[in-house]
Amino acid sequence: MANHQVRSTITHIGTLTSRPQAFLIFFAYAGLWLIFDRDSLDWHAIATLATWAMTLFIQRAEHRDTQALHAKLDELLRAASEADSETATVDKKEPEEIEVQREWKQQGDSPKR
């Protein structure tokens, strides 16, 4: 139970980092650093902020691509009459649960609950 809660929380945090609000937090942090500790804002600090910013940009782009791919796959699943309804809702599961379902599908069975 606790393990599932931790995995769910980590997944949720990953999703939050792809939202525009994450950039607001980044700019607020950088601004507060500049206001309160300008002396420590050296090349190392700028590299740290640049790395954080690039991570947010990459996360945002990957999230957009993933959402577009899911929308396209959802449309294909709706169009295919023999599609498995459980597979159509797999994006609501945790990554570990998806891996188990994929393994079972590849073996031709259904996952055990």
Q: Tens digits of per-residue pLDDT, 50-76?
A: 999 999 999 999 988 888 888 888 788
| Burial of 76 from C-beta contacts in 10 A (0-12 / 13-18 / 19+) | exposed
Residues spanned by the domain of 73: 41-83
What pLDDT shows up at residue 56? 94
Residue 24 has pLDDT above 60, yes or no: yes
| 52 within a domain of the structure (yes/no) | yes
Q: What is the Cα–Cα distance from 110 to 106, expressed in whole angstroms?
A: 9
Q: To 5 degrees, how large is the angle CA 37–CA 14–CA 18?
A: 75
- pLDDT reading at 89 higher than 80: no
Phi/psi-derived region of residue 108, left when phi > 0, alpha when psi is between -120 and 50, beta in every other case: left
- Structural domains counted in the chain: 1
Residue 56's identity, in one-letter code, is L
- CA 85 from chain center: how many Å? 23
The set of residues, in sequence order, having a beta carbon less than 8 Å from that of 45 and lying 6+ positions away, is: 33
Residue 47 lies in a domain: yes
- Domain membership flag for residue 99: no
Q: Assess contact for 48 and 37: CB atoms under 8 A.
A: no
Model's pTM, two decimal places?
0.67
